[in-house]
Amino acid sequence: MNRRNFIQLLGVGAGATILSSTLIGCGGEPHVELFGWSGPAATLKDIRLKVLSYAILAPNPHNKQPWIVKLVGPSSFALYVDPNRLLPATDPYYRQVHIGQGTFLEIASIAASALGYKANIHYFPEGQYGNKALANKPVALLELTEAPNVKPDPLFDHLLNRHSNKRSYDRTSLSPNEEQLLQTFHQKTSDAELVFKSSAQDQTQLTGFLTEAMAIETGNKARDEETIAMFRVNQAEVEKYRDGFGVAQAGMSGVKKIVAETFFLSREKLEKNPAGFGEQAVDITHAAAESTATFAWLTTKSNQRIDQIKIGRDYCRINLQTTAMGLAQHPMSQILQEYDDMLPLQKSFKEGYGIVPNDTVQMLFRLGRAKPTTHSPRRTLDSIISV
- Domains of the chain, residue spans: 3-19+168-368, 47-160+376-386
- Res 31: pLDDT: 34
The confidence score (pLDDT) of residue 146 equals 97
23, 99, 6, 74: which is closest to 376 by C-alpha? 23
From the list 39, 314, 321, 84, the residue with the least C-alpha distance to 179 is 321
CB 153 within 8 A of CB 111: no
The CATH code belonging to domain 3-19+168-368 is 3.40.109.10
* Predicted pLDDT of residue 250: 66
CA pair distance 25, 66, nearest whole angstrom: 14
Residue 144, helix vs strand vs coil: strand
Tell me if 383 sits within 8 A of 64, measured CB to CB: no
Q: Are both 3-19+168-368 and 47-160+376-386 of the same fold?
A: yes
> What pLDDT was estimated at residue 257?
57
HSE, side-chain direction, 13 A CA sphere, residue 258: 2
Q: Are 23 and 315 in contact (CB under 8 A)?
A: yes
The one-letter amino acid code at 365 reads F
Supply angle C-alpha 225, 227, 231, rounded to 5.
Answer: 110
Is residue 251 left, alpha or beta, with left meaning phi > 0 and alpha meaning psi from -120 to 50?
left
Q: What ranges in 242-372 are assigned the alpha helix state H?
A: 254-259, 267-272, 274-290, 305-324, 343-352
Closest by CA position to 299, among listed 310, 289, 291: 310
User: Please, which residues bridge with residue 294 across strands?
Assistant: 367
Distance CA 220, CA 215 (A): 9
Q: Which residues contact 354 (CB under 8 A, 6 or more apart)?
A: none
Per-residue pLDDT tens, the chain, 387 aa: give them: 454 454 444 443 333 333 343 455 544 433 333 688 888 988 899 999 999 999 999 999 999 999 999 999 999 999 999 999 999 999 999 999 999 999 999 999 999 999 999 999 999 999 999 999 999 999 999 999 999 899 999 999 999 999 999 999 999 999 999 999 999 999 999 999 999 999 999 999 999 999 999 999 999 999 999 999 999 988 889 999 999 988 766 665 554 554 455 546 778 888 888 888 888 889 989 999 999 999 999 999 999 999 999 999 999 999 999 999 999 999 999 999 999 999 999 999 999 999 999 999 999 999 999 999 887 899 999 999 997
Looking at the DSSP bridge assignments, the partners of residue 385 are 69
Query: Which CATH architecture fits 47-160+376-386?
Result: 3-Layer(aba) Sandwich (3.40)
Query: Which residues partner with 297 through β-bridges?
Result: 195, 364
